[in-house]
């Protein structure tokens, strides 16, 4: 899964947790990069995701208007050791995707130079 993920050249401190069980799945990816690379990664990650879904949907990217808490992991039984994700919040940055099942969600934390990718069904 990560072999094709479009990490920018400056990406480091990469974390990933995922599970799949029949039709249920959850994916969490986090990495740090330069702020310009974080923002430039958004369309590339969305394109990567849509290609994997065999569709070509588009999503808007919006600046965060207020602090947000990231969702997940939903089922600690399948993803019990993701301390690097649990309880995260983003104060300044961007969101792209859609908050819905089988949709990509991407947050950019401009303060930390960090990208978060989340998808669940």
pLDDT digits (tens, 9 = 90+) for 87-113: 889 999 999 999 887 899 999 999 999
* Region of poorest pLDDT, from 15-19, 72-76, 112-116: 72-76
Tokens describing residue 97: 């995707």
pLDDT at 81 over 70: yes
> What is the reported pLDDT for 108?
97
Q: Specify the number of domains making up the chain.
A: 1
Q: How much is the pTM?
A: 0.91
Q: Which domain holds residue 72?
A: 11-120
> What is the reported pLDDT for 77?
65
Q: How many other CB atoms are found less than 10 A from the CB of residue 114?
A: 19
Would you say 35 and 110 are in contact if contact means Cβ atoms under 8 Å apart? yes
> What is the reported pLDDT for 53?
87
- Look at residue 4 and tell me if it is in a domain: no
d(CA 7, CA 80): 25
Across the chain, the runs of DSSP E, i.e. the strands, are: 12-21, 24-32, 61-63, 68-69, 89-90, 93-97, 105-109, 114-120
- Look at residue 6 and tell me if it is in a domain: no
pLDDT digits (tens, 9 = 90+) for 13-57: 999 988 877 777 888 999 999 999 999 999 999 999 999 889 989
Quickly list DSSP for 52-101: HHT------EEE-SS-EEPP--S-TTTS---TTTTT-EESSEEEEE-SST
């Amino acid at each position: 899964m990560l072999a094709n993920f479009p990490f920018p050249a400056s990406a480091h401190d990469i974390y990933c947790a995922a599970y799949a069980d029949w039709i249920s799945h959850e994916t969490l990816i986090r990495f740090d990069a330069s702020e310009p690379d974080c923002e430039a990664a958004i369309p590339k990650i969305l394109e990567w995701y849509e290609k994997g879904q065999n569709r070509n949907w588009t999503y808007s990217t919006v600046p965060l208007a207020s602090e947000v808490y990231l969702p997940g992991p939903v089922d600690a039984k399948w993803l019990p050791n993701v301390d690097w994700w649990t309880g995260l919040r983003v104060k300044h940055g961007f969101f792209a995707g859609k908050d819905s099942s089988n949709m990509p969600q991407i947050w950019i934390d401009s303060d930390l130079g960090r990208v978060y990718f989340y998808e669940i069904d």
